[in-house]
Amino acid sequence: MIAKIKHNSEEFKIDLSKPLDISIPLTGNDDNVNAWYLDPPKIEPHTDGDFIGKVSEGASTNFNDVWFNPHSHVTHTECLGHITDAFHSINQKLKQFFFLAEVITVMPEQSGKDFVILVKQLRDALGNKKREAVVIRTLPNPIEKKSRDYSNTNPPYLMESALDLLVKKGVEHLLVDLPSVDKEKDGGALLAHKAFWNVNGKPRTRATITEFIFVPDSVKDGTYFLNLQVAPFENDASPSRPVLYRILE
C-alpha cells in the first residue's frame, strides 16, 4: 500500500506494506534484554486459589500477569519526566507519531576505560541534514544485542557535546541501540539526558529519547519515515515500537 506524506512542503511516498520494525520485544524469560541490575521480566498465568489463567490448565482463557520495567526490559521511549522532580507523562508529551528520520551507524571510540560517541562522529554522519529524528546504530551490531544483559558492563554512551549538537540541529527524537545515552555509573550526572532535554534552560518538553532499539544490518544508513508509537502509559517512559519506512523514489 503506497501512501503519500507531505512534509515541509515536500511530498514523499512510502510503502506501508513494508515496515522495518526496530524494536526489541518483551519475551518474559532469561534471554530477554536487560539492564540496571533487575531480574528478568516475567509473563506468567495469573493464579487465584485453584484458578490458573491458562487454557492448557483448564481455564477458558489465557490470562497472564506481566512484570517488567520499561527502562530495563524492552524498547522504550521516555520524556523529560525521566529526570525531573515534576511529573511528565510520555503519553501526554508524544502527540505526533510520524517523523522524517536519519539512520546513521557509529563505531564508539575508546576514551580511557569507556567507549563513547563523539560530537565529531555525529557531525560527520549528519552533515547539513535537518531531521526531526535520528536513529543511531552502534558497531559492532550482533543479533545478541536483543538478548544481552548490560548490567555492570559499562556500555558505550554519548558525550554531552554530541547531544548539544542534536539540539542545535533541531532533532526532537533520538533513538539508540544502547540501554542509555549516559554512562552506566556516572554518579547521577546524566549529562546527555539533561543536554537533550535542556533541563537547565527552557526544557524541550516534546523531545523524546528511545533506548534499546535494534537496527538490523539490512537497514541501510539514510533517510526514512519513522512511526514512533508508545503504549498509553501515564508514566515517564513506556514500551514503544519504532517502525521505519523506506522513502520511494
What are the residue boundaries of the structural domains of the chain, listed by start?
Answer: 2-24+75-248, 25-74
* Confidence band of 154 (pLDDT split at 50, 70, 90): very high
> How much is the pLDDT for 32?
98
For residues 91, 89, 200, 97, the Cα torsion angle rounded to the nearest 10 degrees is: 0
User: Could you give the CA distance from residue 228 to residue 226 in angstroms, rounded to a whole number?
Assistant: 6
pLDDT tens per residue, range 170-207: 999 999 999 999 999 999 999 999 999 999 999 999 99
Residues 28-34 have a mean pLDDT of 96
What would the pLDDT profile of 58-117 be if each residue is shown by its tens digit? Answer: 999 999 999 999 999 999 999 999 999 999 999 999 999 999 999 999 999 999 999 999
- Within a 10 A sphere around the Cβ of 128, how many other Cβ atoms? 6
Average pLDDT, the chain: 97
The CATH code of the domain at 2-24+75-248 is 3.50.30.50
- pTM > 0.95: yes
> Hey, what's the cell of 217?
544490518
CA dist., res. 196 & res. 80, Å (int):
9
pLDDT at 13: 94
